[in-house]
């Protein structure tokens, strides 16, 4: 491959990434403009510019803008986390929950409601993040024991076992406390409806830190795709790369799940969509996933707000309906899953 070909490839990737950013900006604008409460274009512009005394100011600045910003951060986090997990475990069907992140967050939320008596979903964010972090540390610690350390297969197996154990605790708590079950079910479906500026303030530091770690992993993940021996020969510290990847997934998926509940298929499907578009190079796969995932999440959220007006359909339901057919179509377009 000549240097000219490499430069042309980089130029094409950069151009397409700019186009994806433009699409994301358009979806963000739609998320602010559209909702269960209809506003005319003039009222929308007036509310955006004046912020006081205009029709729809509350709907725009207290509901839709924070909701859009949280959706932007959560979508980017899940896209990055999914791409990292599939590369780290070398498993095309891996998603961010494979390290027990979702189950840990669910355990934290259930205990926050049942043991500590919390009644507000916003107050459970810290419990959810603590549960996600604790579950990931447990999985990585157990998966690191023995010969070879934290291999992809060992992490996946330990994560699956931890997921089952933690979810059994969750269901035991829910069956024993009907009030907890009532509050938990709204969180478990995955929704942006209850978020506000306080939610964004609770998670943005974790999202930024996780994104920095994730984007720095591109070259190391490319080397690991060649095998551990080849990665070491290329100068990659395999143990350090794995630990940094696990830390990035914990920060990203833990904060995202804590804020809005589990969003399924997004972290699983988006990396496959990106690979079908640009190939497996992690240096481009990660930023593309970071841009395309929030575009899909916010588009699904807008759709959920308008198709059943004046009620809303939670974004977790929309992503499940939209993500499953897309993923199936991608898998059918390949000779075998491993080619993804």
Residue 268 sits at φ, ψ, to 5 deg, of -85, -45
Write down the pLDDT at residue 336. 47
CB distance 158 to 149 below 8 Å: no
pLDDT digit string, tens, across residues 272-299: 889 888 888 899 999 999 999 999 999 9
pLDDT at position 179 over 80: yes
Q: How confident is the model at residue 69 (pLDDT cuts 50, 70, 90)?
A: very high
CA dist 20 and 287 (Å) reads 10
Flag the least confident range among 88-97, 196-205, 264-273, 293-302.
Answer: 88-97
Interhelix angle 125-144/152-176, rounded to 10 degrees, is 140
Burial of 284 (0-12, 13-18, 19+ CB in 10 A): buried
Structural domain harbouring 314: 80-339
Evaluate whether residue 97 is within a structural domain: yes
Evaluate whether residue 64 is within a structural domain: no
Other beta carbons within 10 Å of 231: 19
Picking from 321, 268, 270, the residue whose alpha carbon sits closest to that of residue 292 is: 270
Flag the least confident range among 11-15, 184-188, 253-257, 336-340.
Answer: 336-340
pLDDT at position 312 over 60: yes
Write down the pLDDT at residue 51. 65
Mean pLDDT (the chain, rounded): 83
Write down the pLDDT at residue 338. 44
E strand segments, 86-148 = none
Based on the structure, what is the number of domains in the chain? Answer: 1
pLDDT digit string, tens, across residues 14-55: 888 999 999 999 999 999 988 777 777 777 777 777 666 555
Task: Tell me the CATH number at 160.
Answer: 1.10.3470.10
Evaluate whether residue 14 is within a structural domain: no
Q: Which residues contact 181 (CB under 8 A, 6 or more apart)?
A: 174, 175
Write down the pLDDT at residue 45. 76
What is the residue whose two structure tokens read 């005319």?
40
Range 75-89 average pLDDT: 90
pLDDT digit string, tens, across residues 210-256: 999 999 999 999 888 887 788 888 888 888 888 898 889 889 988 89
Range 144-151 average pLDDT: 68
Evaluate whether residue 137 is within a structural domain: yes
Model-wide pTM > 0.85? yes
Evaluate whether residue 166 is within a structural domain: yes
Evaluate whether residue 223 is within a structural domain: yes
Evaluate whether residue 18 is within a structural domain: no
Distances (CA, A) of 17 to 8, 13, 277, 290: 14, 6, 11, 10
pLDDT at position 335 over 50: no
Evaluate whether residue 219 is within a structural domain: yes
């Amino acid at each position: 491959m000549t240097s000219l070909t490499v430069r042309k490839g980089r130029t094409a990737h950069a151009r397409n990434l700019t186009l994806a950013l433009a699409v994301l900006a358009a979806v963000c604008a739609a998320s602010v403009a559209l909702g269960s409460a209809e506003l005319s274009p003039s009222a929308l512009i007036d509310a955006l510019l004046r912020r006081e005394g205009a029709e729809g100011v509350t709907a725009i600045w207290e509901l839709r803008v924070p909701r859009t910003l949280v959706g932007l951060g959560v979508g980017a986090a899940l896209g990055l986390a999914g791409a990292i997990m599939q590369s780290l475990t070398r498993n095309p069907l891996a998603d961010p929950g494979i390290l027990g992140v979702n189950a840990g967050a669910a355990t934290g939320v259930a205990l926050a409601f049942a043991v500590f008596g919390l009644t507000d979903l916003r107050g459970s964010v810290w419990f959810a993040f603590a549960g996600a972090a604790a579950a990931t540390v447990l999985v990585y610690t157990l998966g690191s024991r023995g010969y070879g350390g934290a291999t992809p297969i060992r992490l996946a197996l330990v994560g699956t076992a931890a997921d089952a154990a933690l979810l059994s605790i969750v269901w035991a708590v829910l069956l024993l406390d009907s009030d907890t079950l009532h509050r938990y079910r709204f969180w478990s479906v995955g929704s942006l409806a209850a978020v506000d500026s306080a939610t964004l303030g609770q998670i943005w530091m974790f999202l930024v830190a996780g994104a920095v770690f994730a984007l720095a992993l591109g070259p190391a993940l490319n080397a690991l795709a060649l095998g551990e021996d080849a990665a070491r020969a290329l100068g990659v510290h395999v143990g350090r790369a794995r630990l940094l990847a696990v830390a990035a997934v914990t920060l990203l998926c833990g904060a995202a799940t804590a804020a809005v509940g589990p969003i399924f298929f997004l972290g699983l499907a988006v990396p496959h969509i990106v690979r079908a578009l640009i190939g497996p190079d992690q240096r481009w796969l990660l930023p593309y996933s970071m841009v395309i995932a929030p575009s899909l999440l916010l588009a699904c959220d807008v759709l959920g707000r308008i198709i059943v007006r004046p009620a809303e359909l939670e974004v977790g339901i929309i992503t499940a309906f939209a993500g499953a057919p897309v993923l199936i179509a991608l898998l059918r377009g390949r000779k075998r899953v491993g080619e993804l």
